[in-house]
C-alpha cells in the first residue's frame, strides 16, 4: 500500500540507514555470539526476573485468603498481632 506507488512515483522515501538497521535485525540470529555481556543479560531476563516475580506473587498469595470470607471478616490469613 505505502510502497507501491503509481506511474513510477514512490510516495515513501527510502532511508538507507533504516534499511540497513532493519536488515541487520532480521539476520541477527546468523551472527549472534554469547559474550559476557549477552550472557549476563540472558541470565537476568531468564532467571532473575522470573524468580523475583515468583517470590513476590507467592508472598502475596500466602498473605491473603479469599475463600469463604464474609464482608466483616479480614482477608488476611493471620491477623497482625496474632502470634502462633
Report whether 78 contacts 84 (CB < 8 A): yes
pLDDT at 7: 72
10-14, 22-26, 34-38, 58-62: least confidently modelled range:
10-14
Q: Taking residues 52-61, what's their average pLDDT?
A: 93
**What's the mean per-residue pLDDT of the chain?**
86
Mean pLDDT of 7-23: 88
SS3 label, residue 52 = helix
User: What pLDDT shows up at residue 32?
Assistant: 92
Q: What is the pLDDT of residue 80?
A: 66
Question: Is residue 66 within 8 Å of 75, Cβ to Cβ?
Answer: yes
* Cα–Cα distance for residue pair 75/62, rounded to 1 Å: 11
pLDDT computed for residue 5 by the predictor = 62
Amino acid at each position: 500500500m505505502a510502497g507501491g506507488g503509481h506511474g513510477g512515483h514512490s510516495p515513501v522515501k527510502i532511508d538507507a540507514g533504516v534499511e540497513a538497521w532493519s536488515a541487520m535485525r532480521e539476520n541477527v540470529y546468523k551472527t549472534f555470539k554469547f559474550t559476557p555481556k549477552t550472557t549476563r543479560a540472558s541470565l537476568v531476563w531468564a532467571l532473575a526476573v522470573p524468580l523475583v516475580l515468583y517470590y513476590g506473587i507467592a508472598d502475596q498469595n500466602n498473605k491473603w485468603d479469599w475463600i469463604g470470607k464474609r464482608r466483616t471478616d479480614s482477608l488476611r490469613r493471620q491477623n497482625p498481632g496474632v502470634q502462633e
